[in-house]
Chain A
Amino acid sequence: MRRPELEDVRGVVFDVQRMSMHDGPGMRTNVFLKGCPLRCGWCANPESQLLQPQLTLHAANCIECGQFAESCTACALAAASTRAGQQDLIRRRADSTLGAGWTETETTTRVDLCPTGALHWVGHWRTAGDVMAEVRRDRPFYGQEGGLTITGGEPTMQPEMCEALLWLAQQDGIHTAIETCGHTQWAVYERLLPWLNVVLYDVKHIDPAVHLRHTGFDNALILDNLARLTARGVSVRVRIPLIPGFNADPATIGGIAAYVRRMPGPVAGIDLLPYHSLGKAKYGALGRVYPWEGHARLSDSEVSACAAAVRAENLPVTIGG
């Protein structure tokens, strides 16, 4: 079967991370698609939440060149030109993407003036063919197990792009995985499953109210989709982010594990992903306040206790994926 039109499907990609070790079996290339339905306070990739490309400013890389004054009135504010001024500019444009009245090209040209790349776009429209050309480069490293992992954001927010990438990968004999938050219509999974080898499936909390409070939605759709996936015999690994102040206690984690064990079909295992604050700087770059401020990393013993709670349910567990 040939579907050349799939090469031309476009999507918003915000990173392609080669030689990923922890997102599926073997060595993998992670393709990050933009857009996520959830708004988790601890999110390590806040730039992935909106579907559209976004401007970010990493203040640490800004050399205060002052060039924006000459080239763009909207940046005159920044040119006043303190770092704080530039940040304020970004903040005012937070969540926005293209400037009022600017075309995408116009904005890009202006952003290109930034000599250090401190001000740059997160997310670019790319074709599936272009992305796959990059993914294919690392075939020498995939071996029997490795391959493509589509993550995000939430890959199912861009179903056409996601399907195109998976289909093209499978045509090349490249192993495929998606990492998904589960909050999507079942029909989307139906569409992707024929081209998928492994699903890495996030389950964050069993309590719908807690889930709603910290992610913006309850977990009904998520748990329902998980049941359907396992019923279909799909190879599923459940991933639980261990988040202090949300779920990082043995009782909660054990509860998730117990639930997972009762699914209609088998789950390959559970990966515990301990909380880290590496995404914090990205909030500043987006002009946002870090919502999970004040939470420390988990100690080894806290993580081990959660792992033990999973093992108590007779499920294989890894830490860090």
Chain B
Amino acid sequence: MHASVKLPPEPTTGFPRATWRTTAASARSLAIKRRLLETPRQIDVERARYTTQSYQASEGEPMAMRRAKMLLHLVRAMSITIDEGELIAGNRSLLPRMGVIAPEGAVTWVDRELDILPTRPQDRFNITAEQIQELREEIFPYWRGKTLEDIVATHVPPDIMKAVRGKAFSLNQTDHAQGHILPDVETWLRLGITGLRAQVQEARRQPAMQASDKQIFYDAAEIALTAAQTLFERYADLAAEMAQRESDPRRAAELTQIAGNCRHLATDAPETFYQALQAVWFLFVLVQIESNASSFSPGRFDQYMLPYLLVDLQAGRLTQEQAQELLEALWLKFNEIVLLRSSSSARYFAGFPIGFNIAIGGQLSDGSDATNLLTYMCLHAQADIGLTQPNLSVRVHAGSPQELLEAAAFVISKGSGMPQIFNDEVIVPGQVNRGLPLEEARNYAVVGCVELSTPGKALGWSDASMFNLTRVLELTLYGGKDPQSGEQIGLSTPRLDQMTSFAEMEAAYSQQLTYFVDLMVRGCNIVDGIHAEVLPSPWLSLFIADCVERGTDVTAGGARYNFSGVQGVQIANVADSLAAVKQAVFDEQWLPPAQLLDALRSNFAGTEVLRQRLINRAPKYGNDDDRVDQFAAAWGDRYCALVEQYPTIRGGGYQPGFYTVSAHVPMGAHVGATPDGRHAGAPLADGGLSPTAGRDRRGATAVLHSVSKLDLRLASNGTLLNMKFLPSFFDGPEALNKFAQLLRGFCELHVPHVQFNVVSVDTLRQAQANPDEFRSLVVRVAGYSAYFIELDKELQDEIIRRTEFDAV
């Protein structure tokens, strides 16, 4: 019924330029925002308690059934509330931003960290003595040996573990469900619970689906739908009851409306914009209750929500102001869920990136521009709310309207690090290169931080591993040995001082990469297989084609498109190091190789002059200098070529990415001094494709040129480029126009991603000194925004150091 609705003639009226400077969230939204920021983060034990009860009761049953029954038990037993002033109901914990423990993922690290949760360096949570006692005495004992974490630990063979311990790569998703997916929101809105149930029942009657494992899948799916219905009814009942008790008639009417929305969704598909917003949020609450994972992303929200908005506006059911407030209510909701991570994981993914990524703008399936009224309303919401979620992404292409680029520039100038910008001109061909039909490729959206995927049809397993290209280069310098321990971690190849040419150096590095990539893929395959056994996801599988048609869980290969994404870290350090070795050791020969190795092993102790010379004399990536950029291109492309040969165990293939989230800090901690002049243990370059902080000295356009020299179609899992601008860059009447021009150039140079921190160093230093006064200061970490004061000092310092571009 919505397909016939036409766009209004003035699609930019959602964010008219005249209102940019005066836009503001409603008093209600601001009050909720304040409450979100001020509520201390607590540990939640309900998820753990009720999951344990359910698993104990379902012993011996197929895992898919146990997972579905767990979901049903949770939604019946968990405490629910509707907070003051809220317009959209639902959360997976009683209070916002609670640390939820999913014991089926892990208890070992949780047990180890329970007592330090309130004090650990990154991602702290309060916990009570009673909670600790319940977890330790009643919950954890049941799970020993049964969790994903414990099973993975006993299944990874020693050669792979040696490489992991040797820090050549990490194996991710080993202690919680893997998330990283774009559920089919469009179908959910179209069918609702009743429609989905009919689809399941239709599929299970097919002759090909009569095997018992298929029927088990469908039984589980139906239980999951019952769980959804149960949860929506509980919220409907609660809202109705609160409405009765409410003395303020206006609030009572709102609560009655919430009750009506929830009651409607318990059976039917949404009919209004307001109901559709509530439905979107419920979908994500339920995937989070089921999976407890990061990066379930709503995708192309401005596309699938537009028909609901237009119908309501045209019917006069909503004014645009009302629609904006409802939209901002959802924006706030996205901030209520955080993921409790282990200390080590929290270093790699610091500051609770939960990854509700919304990708707006871009192209329609026929290649025409997709920007619409809701695109601008989303930007408006981000300008108003300015919190860390949703992770707002704007897709741009050669035909993007100037208004969109300037509106994006304006929101960027407000400094929440959003929106980040994605470039259709390179991403779409990259998706086609992975075998997607062009129409499907044009419909890509973003998962979590910067990962690329197809809405509703793909399991991209985007964060399977981080591969430390810099560490492998370090091992290569020493013939495959760790320079400190002397342990042989990689292949035995010649040491730098045994080589006679740079070509030998390159050959050895290539061999080591091949060796470690192979180990990494084998490790990822093992983890992938265990997920299918331990964490089938009946609710999630309803929203990924073709799980229902095939009667196959999404974790077991039910998706139409399957990938695994593995990130190469870090191109800048590799390129700079190789350029320095080539120049100093082989071309100009002013540095004997043994002297370089000694200096590196001793972390440049007493050789600061040498270090400075390596920094200042050798060319550096990020300056549009082919002498070094050629290495970024060659080794980036080489890594991609190695990775993309491997199939995943779910069908489909491995695909490379270049991004680190915040992992450049901990991954750098395990790499000794490098020939680019970096000290031992210092962070690697940030982002993924960014130059090393302070080494790019020729401005932002030179950085974009350096990055563009890699064939980034191949990095189809996602890439990340950080840029930092001073607020003064945005001064002056023409600044937004000029910034839009920067985005046009970025588009033309086929750089897939860029994001901007717009905050002065002074402000960051003040925030370090007086955290309480800067609670809402949001900065861009890497593919996501976080509260600056919630990051540990080292990461804060790293963000301060990133090169800053001012207006010149």
- Bound-state CA distance A310–B699 (Å) is 33
Contact status B741-A67, CB under 8 Å: no
Contact status A19-B742, CB under 8 Å: yes
Q: Is the CB of A189 closer than 8 A to any CB of chain B? A: no
Q: Is the CB of A279 closer than 8 A to any CB of chain B? A: no
Q: A21-B807, A22-B808, A141-B742 are in contact. Are A63 and B731 (CB under 8 A)?
A: no
Q: Among residues 1 to 41 in chain A, which have CB atoms less than 8 Å away from a CB atom of chain B?
A: 16-22, 25-27, 30
Contact status A138-B745, CB under 8 Å: yes
- Bound-state CA distance A24–B702 (Å) is 20
- Bound-state CA distance A167–B742 (Å) is 25
A-B contact count (CB 8 A): 78
Interface flags, B226-237, vs A, CB<8A=1, else 0: 000000000000
- Identify which of B609, B701, B733 contacts A141 (C-beta below 8 A): B701
Contact status B612-A19, CB under 8 Å: no
Contact status B701-A63, CB under 8 Å: no
- Bound-state CA distance A140–B748 (Å) is 6
Contact status B732-A137, CB under 8 Å: no
- Identify which of B705, B733, B807, B808 contacts A318 (C-beta below 8 A): B733
> With a CB–CB cut-off of 8 A, which chain B residues contact A117?
616
Q: Is the CB of B17 closer than 8 A to any CB of chain A? A: no
Q: Is the CB of B608 closer than 8 A to any CB of chain A? A: yes
Contact status A30-B701, CB under 8 Å: no
Chain B residues bordering chain A, tally (CB within 8 A): 31
Contact status B700-A19, CB under 8 Å: yes
- Bound-state CA distance A112–B618 (Å) is 12
Interface flags, B743-766, vs A, CB<8A=1, else 0: 011001100000000000000000
Q: Is the CB of B793 closer than 8 A to any CB of chain A? A: no
> With a CB–CB cut-off of 8 A, which chain B residues contact A318?
732-733
Contact status A18-B699, CB under 8 Å: yes
Q: A26-B738, A26-B741, A320-B732 are in contact. Are A137 and B612 (CB under 8 A)?
A: no
Contact status B808-A115, CB under 8 Å: no
Q: Is the CB of A209 closer than 8 A to any CB of chain B? A: no
> With a CB–CB cut-off of 8 A, which chain A residues contact B705?
137
Contact status B808-A17, CB under 8 Å: yes
> With a CB–CB cut-off of 8 A, which chain A residues contact B701?
18-19, 27, 137-138, 141
CB distance from A30 to the nearest CB of B (A): 7
Q: Is the CB of B729 closer than 8 A to any CB of chain A? A: yes
Size category of the A interface is: 20 to 34
Interface flags, A47-76, vs B, CB<8A=1, else 0: 000000000000000010101000000000
> With a CB–CB cut-off of 8 A, which chain B residues contact A264?
none
Q: Is the CB of B348 closer than 8 A to any CB of chain A? A: no
Interface flags, B412-429, vs A, CB<8A=1, else 0: 000000000000000000
What is the chain B residue whose CB lies nearest that of A25?
B734
Contact status B731-A141, CB under 8 Å: no
Contact status B616-A116, CB under 8 Å: yes
Contact status B609-A65, CB under 8 Å: yes
Contact status A21-B744, CB under 8 Å: no
Instruction: Apart from A63-B608, A116-B615, A137-B705, list 15 A-B contacts with CB within 8 A.
Output: A20-B808, A21-B732, A21-B807, A22-B807, A27-B701, A67-B609, A115-B613, A116-B612, A137-B701, A137-B702, A138-B701, A140-B749, A141-B744, A319-B732, A321-B732
Pairs A–B under 8 Å by Cβ, sample size 22: A18-B701, A18-B702, A19-B699, A19-B700, A19-B701, A21-B732, A21-B735, A21-B738, A22-B808, A26-B738, A26-B741, A27-B741, A27-B745, A115-B609, A115-B617, A117-B616, A140-B745, A140-B749, A141-B744, A143-B741, A318-B733, A320-B732
Interface residues of B (CB under 8 A from A): 608-610, 612-613, 615-617, 624, 698-702, 705, 729, 731-735, 738, 741-742, 744-745, 748-749, 805, 807-808
